[in-house]
Amino acid sequence: MVSTLELPTPRMEEWRWADMQALRSAAEAEPRVTGLDPADLFLDLDGPRLCFIDGAFEPAHSRPGAVQVTRQIVSSTHPLASLAEGEGWSLHIEPEHAVTAIQIVHLGSGGESHVPARIVLAEDAVASLVETYAGVGWANRLTSISLARGARLMRSVRLLQDEGFVSVRDEAEVGEAASLVSIFLGAGGMGSRIDGALTLTGKGAFAEMGGALLTRGSQRQECAVAVRHEETDGSSRQIWRAVAADKSVASLAARVEVARGAQKTDGEQSLRGLLLDRTATVNLKPELEIFADDVKCAHGATVGELDKNALFYLESRGIDKARATAMLTRSFVADALSRIGEDAVREAFEADADKWLGGTL
Amino acid sequence: MTTETDTKARNAEALAAANKKYEWGFSSDIEQEFAPKGLSEDTVRFISAKKNEPEWMLEYRLKAFRTWQTMELPEWAKLAIPEIDYQDAYYYAEPKQKKALGSLDEVDPEILRVYEKLGIPIEEQKMLAGVEGARKVAVDAVFDSVSVATTFRAELEAAGVIFRSISEAIREYPDLVRKWLGKVVPVRDNFFSALNAAVFSDGTFVYVPEGVRCPMELSTYFRINAENTGQFERTLIVADKGSYVSYLEGCTAPMRDENQLHAAVVELVALDDAEIKYSTVQNWYPGDENGKGGIFNFVTKRALCEGKNSKVSWTQVETGSAITWKYPSCVLKGDGSVGEFYSVAVTNGHQQADTGTKMLHIGKNTRSTIVSKGISAGKSNNTYRGRVLVNAGAENVRNFTQCDSLLLGDQCGAHTVPYIEVKNPSAQIEHEATTSKISEDQMFYAMQRGLDSEAAVALIVNGFAREVLKQLPMEFAVEAQKLLGISLEGSVG
């Protein structure tokens, strides 16, 4: 199937750090038993639950509530997202209504799976969502998001597949005074590509996409996010952290676009990479494309190892080196995860990150 | 009347001198000074024959031409490049096809006003504008500077410095040229470097021997064929162990030029403990107010810091050209080598600039500094594009990058595209960027001190670009400051 696909190549500027070979091998992998129980992948939260196994809806572990399972027609032109056609889910929330703690679990056992999703929040509607990816194979997802005036969506996504590949594409329109926050944690053994195109279409809109990518072995994870400001007074944040160990590669590409006339835009980018080994690689690309003159767009990008002074300080207090390293790395990652609003979700994500650190350091 | 007689006499003199020059250079084909239109192997052979080049040079050019034919124009830059018909151009021509002007009165008054603002002497203005009567003055001026250059040449030769046009160098120092030509920018490097390698017309060759500190700033300006170097300039500078050289390229005055496509290649090599400082001021014709015409400037500039503790510093002030595509880079191969890039890029009208640098850290303890100031006005687009790469074996690398953008007006664009690729944890890489505009407070403050709006903008912009301008050699810095103000005229208020 996949072999007939035209996958993007590194010669394409937006894909120069992408690991399409890993995607191809994941898609071609024979299905196998993962031994994972979907029930263990849900957090202990009240709220709607959906489980997709190899891209197919699994009613036994689901209680969809307000979420509908439907087929979707995909209009994306993105090379991977355009493949995400078929059965998926959609969430429509009426004005001034709220649905929180929705959980979606994607469990793969090999091969490729495609699930489209659509989230539409009417005026002043509120929703929060947690997505978990586990298992193996290639999981390919497209999430289309549309937020009306004053709507608020908090989305937390964790990529915990043992191996394989996860490609996620978000396409969002954020209306006047609406707020979208999507935080990602890549702490599994898979390769990944987190792709985002967020457009601020209303005045005073807020959009944030960020997170932490933790890589080890020969794994490659990356994000490629573009936030586009089309109206005035919008603000956006892209806070990403990458930690790379062994021979792995973590790449962060983030772009802020300010359209002509989108004055008073406040765009913030912070991309930071931490290298744990001589053989690891971090790539950063903090990009600005600005067509308006009265804007505040600053970005900062740094790469390096842990601060030697901080390590020495902790060691001088009797904390051994391994633990000191873990503490400092944890706080490095916490910058990105602290953006998650719900305590229970944030703690779960931090625990996943800790587990990764425990296994790496 | 006397001036007219004078003029005639000097014209005749100049003509005689010019013919004499050809006698020395080429024994045949004096009449045919341009290759037939279009680009083919024959054109390449013609150029090579014209320059009496050795066999290896012709082979090099032909190989480059064949490579070029297999390559495609890169598309990643944020530039709208119109279709270029490479067959609809002359690849070798003495630049005589310029329309001769009778007097300065025929020159675009806009250009004259700029000359005046820059404080260029009237005779030099005539030369730059290509006024016919002034040709002889130009030739005189050139001959003046030849005598100057000859004096310099003696002084340089006493120091052991080789300063030649690249064609001369290919004939006189074939081994030296052959050793380094294409080593820093290989033919296959990119579309335009391959094109340049095939058809380069002329350029400069500099060799500074071991331990020599070049006794003066070298500049193309003094060279006899400075104005003939044409579209496809090729520059090669080699600084041997422990030497130092400072090289100035370009001219602040706007040049009239019929060649729309410019694809130069500049290669620098610094051996152990050597230092090269390369400064550019570029102010080619940017096109008219509707974006018609203007030069396409597609340049490949790269320095190889081959030796330990070597240093290369690029400084550029880019104000001209309709399209600029230029990334002066440093390959920091020697341990402890240092790369620097200081740039001011101004775009106004419909200009487009995609410029920046690459710092490739290969050696241990290598350091690089990037300071880029982009100023956009009118309907122009200005992009900083940079790449900082740290290889796995490069221990203790330091890089600091700062790119600031200044937007004048709400119809222009300022973009920043930095790539940071790090494979060694001991590296410390920092990147900062800001985008701002000239605030009303700043303008009000300057204007209530009696400055008009244009002077106020010029003052503020010069302050914005100060970090870069102070890197320029003195005589350049003063002119560059004036130039910034002129380039931005009419963009505010």
**Model pLDDT, residue B124:** 56
The answer as to whether A227 is a domain residue is yes
Burial of B442 (0-12, 13-18, 19+ CB in 10 A): middle
**Model pLDDT, residue B26:** 29
Grade residue A82 by pLDDT with cuts at 50, 70 and 90: very high
**A309 pLDDT more than 70:** yes
Of A110-124, A202-216, A337-351, B72-86, the one with minimum mean pLDDT is B72-86
Ordered DSSP codes for B127-145: HHHTBHHHHHHHHHHHHHH
Grade residue B436 by pLDDT with cuts at 50, 70 and 90: confident
What CA–CA distance (Å, rounded) separates B169 from B162? 9
Of A257-271, B28-42, B50-64, B206-220, the one with minimum mean pLDDT is B28-42
> Would the CB atoms of A278 and B413 count as touching at under 8 Å?
no
Distance from CA of B274 to the nearest CA of A (A): 29
The answer as to whether A330 is a domain residue is no
The answer as to whether A336 is a domain residue is no
Of A280, A286, A290, the CB nearest to B405: A290
> Would the CB atoms of B416 and A287 count as touching at under 8 Å?
yes
Distance from CA of B398 to the nearest CA of A (A): 10
What ipTM was predicted for this assembly?
0.88
Buried-exposed string A57-73: b where 16+ CB fall within 10 A, e elsewhere: beeebbebeebeeeebe
How does pLDDT run across B317-356, given as a tens digit for each residue? 998 888 999 999 999 999 999 999 999 999 998 999 999 9
Distance from CA of A17 to the nearest CA of B (A): 10
Show the tokens assigned to A175: 């209306």
Grade residue B6 by pLDDT with cuts at 50, 70 and 90: low
B428 inside 8 A of chain A by CB: yes
**Model pLDDT, residue A32:** 87
Grade residue B12 by pLDDT with cuts at 50, 70 and 90: very low
How does pLDDT run across B354-396, given as a tens digit for each residue? 999 999 999 999 999 999 999 999 999 999 999 999 999 999 9
User: Which residues in chain B are contacts of A278 at CB distance < 8 A?
Assistant: 392, 424-425
Grade residue B111 by pLDDT with cuts at 50, 70 and 90: low
Window 330-349 of B, Cβ < 8 Å to A: none
Of A261, A296, A303, the CB nearest to B420: A303
Of A13, A283, A305, the CB nearest to B420: A283
Number of domains in chain A: 1
User: Which residues in chain B are contacts of A291 at CB distance < 8 A?
Assistant: 412-413
**B223 pLDDT more than 80:** no
**Model pLDDT, residue A7:** 87
Of A275, A276, A290, the CB nearest to B435: A290
**B148 pLDDT more than 90:** no
Averaged pLDDT, A71-94: 92
Of A337-341, B29-33, B160-164, B441-445, the one with minimum mean pLDDT is B29-33
Distance from CA of A293 to the nearest CA of B (A): 5
Show the tokens assigned to B245: 């050289």
Contact (Cβ atoms closer than 8 angstroms) between residue B152 and residue B216: yes
> Would the CB atoms of A298 and B76 count as touching at under 8 Å?
no
**Model pLDDT, residue B15:** 40
Of B16-25, B76-85, B298-307, B442-451, the one with minimum mean pLDDT is B16-25
The single-letter code of the amino acid at B243 is S
Show the tokens assigned to A340: 């998650």
Over chain B, what is the mean pLDDT? 80
What CA–CA distance (Å, rounded) separates A262 from A257? 10
The answer as to whether A230 is a domain residue is yes
User: Which residues in chain A are contacts of B395 at CB distance < 8 A?
Assistant: none
Phi, psi of B372 (to 5 degrees): -125, 130
> Would the CB atoms of B431 and A285 count as touching at under 8 Å?
no
Of A15-29, A315-329, B316-330, B479-493, the one with minimum mean pLDDT is B479-493
**Model pLDDT, residue B50:** 81
> Would the CB atoms of A292 and B405 count as touching at under 8 Å?
no
Sorted by sequence, the CB contacts under 8 Å of residue A167 that are 6+ apart come out as A23, A80, A81, A138, A139, A140, A141, A192, A193, A195
**Model pLDDT, residue B201:** 78
Of B392, B426, B431, the CB nearest to A300: B431
The answer as to whether A359 is a domain residue is no
For the CA atoms of A213, A217, A218, A222, the dihedral, rounded to the nearest 10 degrees, stands at: 0
The answer as to whether A321 is a domain residue is no
Of B412, B423, B432, the CB nearest to A281: B423
How does pLDDT run across A109-151, given as a tens digit for each residue? 999 999 999 999 999 999 999 999 999 999 999 999 999 999 9
**Model pLDDT, residue A303:** 93
Q: Which of A269, A75, A61 is nearest to A169 (CA)?
A: A75
**Model pLDDT, residue B104:** 63
Residue of A nearest to B439 (CA): A294
How does pLDDT run across A5-15, given as a tens digit for each residue? 678 988 888 99
How far lies B408's CA from each of A201, A234, A293, A330, B86, in Å? 25, 21, 7, 43, 36
**Model pLDDT, residue B139:** 28
**Residue A67 lies in domain:** 2-306
Element (H, E) at A46: none
The answer as to whether A50 is a domain residue is yes
**Model pLDDT, residue B109:** 67
The answer as to whether A187 is a domain residue is yes
Grade residue A315 by pLDDT with cuts at 50, 70 and 90: very high
B441 inside 8 A of chain A by CB: no
Grade residue A33 by pLDDT with cuts at 50, 70 and 90: confident
